[in-house]
Structure 1
Amino acid sequence: MERGNVITGQINLLTSVSDSNTFDDSHFECIVNVPFKNDTRDAELLTDVSGGSLPALKGYNMTFNDCTFDENLYVSSDHNKNCVVTFVDCIFKKDVWGEDSVMDGKVRFRNCQFKGDVNFRNTTFNNLADFWSCTFYKPTTFYKTDFRDIVVFSAVNFKENVLFTYTLIEKLMILRGTDPEKGFDLSLAIIAGELSVFDFQFDDYSAYGKIYKDLSAELKQHPKNYSYQKAYETVYENAVSNEHLIPLENKRETYRILKSQLESQKNYIDAVPFRVMENKTLLKESVKKLANGHTFWRPISNIIVLVLNALSNWFGSSYLLGLVFTASIASIFFNLALSHIGDFVFTWNYENWQWRYFVQFINPTHRTDYMKLVDENPRQWFFIWDFIGRIFIGYGIYQTIQAFRKYK
C-alpha cells in the first residue's frame, strides 16, 4: 500500500507495492495506465510526461483512495474477469481515456470528479461499470460504448450535456438520483435491457435549436448536387457524435423513452413530468420546422393541437387549468352568442350577467331554444356561435377529466 506519496514517474516507488495494489491519498504527477498488468513485460504502469516509465504492478485488484491525477488516466483493455479497478474520492484534473478498450473486469468510479474530458468511445464493459456519485464537469458523449452488464449512474452530477450515442445497454442502467444540469440524451441508445429510473432530477433545457442554420451553411459550402438529406445527416451526426449537442428531436425522444420506461414499471407519478416535457419539446420542434420552411400542414397541425393541450390542461397535468379553460371558453362563446339576440350590450359588471343562462350554456347538451324567454327568434350567428361553443366546452370538460386521470 502506498499512502501520501507524490508519484512523478521519475522515482521507482512501485516495485515494493503489495498484491493488493492500493494507493491512499497519493498524488500522481504522471500519466497513469490501468488496469495494471500482472507481468512487467506486458505493458507500462505509469508513463512520465517526459517519456520515463515505471514498472508494472502485480495482481489485478487496483484501488485508489483520495488520489489526485494531474495527467491523463488511460483505461486499457483487460481480459481477466477477476480484475477490479476502483477509484474512490479521486480527482482527475485532465482526461480519462478508455477509447477502444475492452474491460472484462469491474470498473468502479465512486464519488470522483472528472474535470477533463471523459472518453469511452467504442469501449466495451463486459462487467460492472459503476460511476456512483461522480461529477462530470465537461460535455460527455458515450459513443458506441457497450455496457454489457450493469452500469450505475446513481447520484451522478453532469455539469454539461451527456449523450449516449449508439450506446448499448444490454442488461441494466441505473439512474437513481441522477442530476444532469444541462442536456441528457438517450434517444440513440440501443436499450436491449432495462432502465431503472428513480428520483431522476431532470428538467427542461436548451437543445441544439440552430441545426437548420448550420444545415443551410453546410449546403452553401457544397455543390448543388449535395442533397439536403446528406447535408442534414452530416450536420446531425457531427452534433451527436463529436460536438456533444442534442437536437430537439433527440431531446423529445429522450423524454418519450423515460416516460415509457416509467409507465412500463407502473410508475405513473414520475412519468407525468416527462410526458409534459415531451409535448413541450414537440411544440418547440414544430415551430422550428415551420419557421425553417419545412412542410406546412404537419407542423401547423401539431402546433394547433399542442397549443390547445397546453391551454386546456397543460398536457394532461393540471385539472385546475382545465376548469379555468372550460369556464373561460364558455364565457367567450356565450357572449358571442348573446350578441346576436335582442338588444344585447356586453358589460364587465358580472352582477348584470345572465348567470342562469350561462349555467345552461356550459352544458354542451343544452337545448337550442334555452333563451326563448329573451328572444324567440335569435339571428343565425347565435346558432353558429352556440354550436362552436358546444364543441370547445365539450373539449374542455374532456381535458379536465383527462387531467384528473393523470396518475391512471
Structure 2
Amino acid sequence: MTAVLVVNSGSSSLKYQLIETDTEEVLAKGLLERIGQVQGVATHTTPDGEWTMEPALPDHGAAFDAMTRAFEEHGPTGLAGLVTAVGHRVVHGGARFFAPTLVTPQVEKDIDELAEYAPLHNPANLAGIRAALAAFPDVPHVAIFDTAFHQTMPPEAYTYAIDAAVAEKYRIRRYGFHGTSHKYVSEKAAAFLGTPLEETRTIVLHLGNGASACAVRGGESVDTSMGFTPLQGLVMGTRSGDLDPAVVFQLARFGGLGLDELDDLLNRRSGLKGLTGSADLRDVRRNADAGDEAAQVALDVYCHRIKHYVGAYLAVLGGADAIVFTAGVGENSPLIRERSLAGLEGLGIEIDAERNASAERGERRISTDASRTAVLVLPTNEELEIARQTVSALAA
C-alpha cells in the first residue's frame, strides 16, 4: 500500500491527510493548531477513532514531529514506508506556475518571492514545505497552487484597466484563488449531471470564511471573483470583497489610516465581522432571527453580492448547466442558498424549498425538476484533489 501525504500549512496551523493512492481512501487526517504558541493542540483521526493531544509546537518543524508521533502512536504506523509523495497547498503561484510543480530549491525561492502577493499565506505554505522536506527527504514533494486553475482565464477577464506599463512592472492582474476547489467541484458537477466535462457550463460558489465564485466552461476557469489577492469579490467572514478603491484614498487622506491599518481593516475587520461584530455566519443568522437589524442587513448584503456574481457569470457563460454551492456555508446553509438565488426564476433558476431544507448531506440537487439550470450542493474535497494532482504530476 502506498499513499500521498497532503499538507495544508497555515501561519499557526497545519492540516494533513494521508490518502491511499489507488483507492483514494483517507487513512488518517489531522489538525495541529497554535503553532508558535507555548502550548499547541493536535487532533489525529483514523477510521478507528480520534485522539487529541497538547504537544509543544514552537514552529512548523515541531508540528511535523508531533504529526509523525501521532501516526506512530495511533496509526497507521510505518509512515515513512507508506508515503510515496507529499502534496502541498500553496496559495499564490503568480504568473509563474500553471500546473502542479515538483518542489526544487528554485521553486522554494519563487514561492518566497511571491509572498509579496500573498503575505498571509505563502510564507506559511513555504514553512510547511521546508518542514516537510526535512521530515520526508527521500520522497518527491509537489506544490499545488490555488491560482493555477485560473490561468485559463482570457485577457479580458484577468486584465485590470490601469496603466499597462505599471501593471506589467508590478504584475498587477486578476489571479483568482480557491482553484483546487473550483476544479474539483466543477468536474463533480459534470459527473453528477452525466454530461461531458468539455460541454458543461458551471457556476461554482465556494462559500466559507473565505468565499469566491467561478465561471467554468468545459472544465476551464473563464472568470472568477477573487482578484490580485483574495480580498476582491464576495463578502467574506472578515474580508470586504468588492470595494471602490477611492474608499482607501478617503480613509488615508481624511481618516489618517496608514497602509498597515488599511490592510488590517479590509482583510481582518470587514466582511461579516465588520458589519456585525462576528465573522461566523451562524452567529449572524442567530442574531438576525432575534431581530438584530445589523445582522439582517449583513445577510442581505452577503446574498446580494452572490446574486450579483451569479448574474454576471450567467452572462459570461451564456447560461449555465449548473450552479453549485460548496464549502462550509455553501454546503450547510439552506437560507444562504435560497436567498442568493431568490427571484431568478425568470432566468430558469428555481430552488425546491423542500429539497433545499433537507438535512441530507452529500451530493444532491436542490432545484425543481422544471428548473432549466440545475442547482446542486456538492461537498468539496481539496485534499483529494491535491493528492490526485500530485500523483498526476509525478506520472507525467
- TM-score of the aligned structures, taking structure 2 as reference length: 0.24
- Structure number with the higher helix fraction is 2
Greater RCO, CA 8 A, separation 6+: 2
- TM-score of the aligned structures, taking structure 1 as reference length: 0.24
